[in-house]
Structure 1
Amino acid sequence: MSDQKTVLVTGANKGIGYEIAAGLGAKGYRVAVGARDHARGAAAVKTLHAAGVDAFAVPLDVTSDSSVAEAANLIGRQVERLDALVNNAGVSGEMGSGWVQDPTTLDLDNVRTVVDTNVYGVIRVTNAMLPLLRRAPSPRIVNVSSSVGSMTLQADPTIDIGPIMAAYAPTKSYLNAVTVQYARRFAGTDILVNAACPGLVATDFTGLHGRPPQEGAAVAVRLATLPDGGPTGSFFNDEGAIPW
């Protein structure tokens, strides 16, 4: 068995996902670059190669059972195991004026679309990759969440948590709850499962408002490389654990 570790990063062709891929690649990981658009995934791999990262493209639509199954088969043909999975792919859904999603006027089709990617997609990908993860001695699963998914922070009137995002924010609360359930399922094993909050990062997702994507990616890179005996079932940002 090769000593080189391998990670799958979903939504890795741009933004935070790309920087997570680059950060783990710089640490010597072979990176499976998951991207819904094959051409964009291939372009990201080319850029990673130029930076000295060992990477390969994986066409991956996290909302499609068949796409996820095909991705698992492709990765299994390329590598012996997965040492880490970073579930980064996510969507915000349609926004109203001022980047607000008003709960009183929500389009339920919009909500379903966001849930399918941000929650069901994570479950779909994680379960499909588990056979490969279980072949690794110390598997790590990182779910990229957000502080807007923190019920504690959202409910605190003294904290400015940003605009109301009634489609997007609850999906991150749901994702946080799912993260805890996976951590409970794997308690007492070498599989560590945590949620990462990258903060407000300048990407297409945020209209390029926020800090550099490389800074936002750092917490996910750290959680994907936790030592044995590290935390599991927790929610972290740069400064440490944050409340659910």
Structure 2
Amino acid sequence: MGRGPSIEARKNAVDAQRGKIFTKVIREIGVAARAGGGDPSGNPRLRAAIDKGLAVNMSKDVIERAIKKATGELEGVEYEEIRYEGYAPGGVAVIVDCLTDNKVRTVADVRHAFGKFGGNLGTDGSVAFMFRKLGVLSYAPGADEDRVTEAAIDAGADDVVVYPEDGAIDVLTAPDAFEAVRAAMAAAGLAPDLAEVTLRADNDISVEGETAEQVRKLLRWLEDLDDVQNVYSNADLGDA
């Protein structure tokens, strides 16, 4: 019988993935602080980025250094925000948000990923119209639907979506109401398991078999690129 990866190999893989997550969060903290100032109380984007850092056990010292580099108190690298749009196999729309200090490298990496898995990079605006920006507060299966729904309505949320397959709940808000709704839900004793401002497609495209596998590989490859912060698609990949 073959042996699986050693404990050391598994640990190294986990450490490598953790390092990638840290890199992405630190870049987001830096860009948010540079754009809106280093005080999270007056900078919702920075506050959200700090929350992401704390959620992955990033130390407050690391977060503070990232903010100071962005605001000029410490020397640091400046990152630029870039969005790429394209299509995966099966006509699946994909948006890739990046933070980079080298646009030439980043576009080459993103274009390579699309080409490698049978997709193609599009022009600005080619798929963005299929998505809308919104705040999402997610509650795991087992959350009290009535309590969440009542509190969300009182907080000014736009919609509450309950998924019948497992009972998970999403509370949806306008982007500019996200922080207020999240604070109100937390004050009601209903802190979400995940909260973020994200992009969601108006309509999903169902793909199966080999096409679904190619789409899945493309999305994973893009997410693993150091310069990529977020990947959005309208793919419905089923349960696999």
TM-score of the aligned structures, taking structure 1 as reference length: 0.26
Q: Flag the structure with higher strand content.
A: 2
TM-score of the aligned structures, taking structure 2 as reference length: 0.26
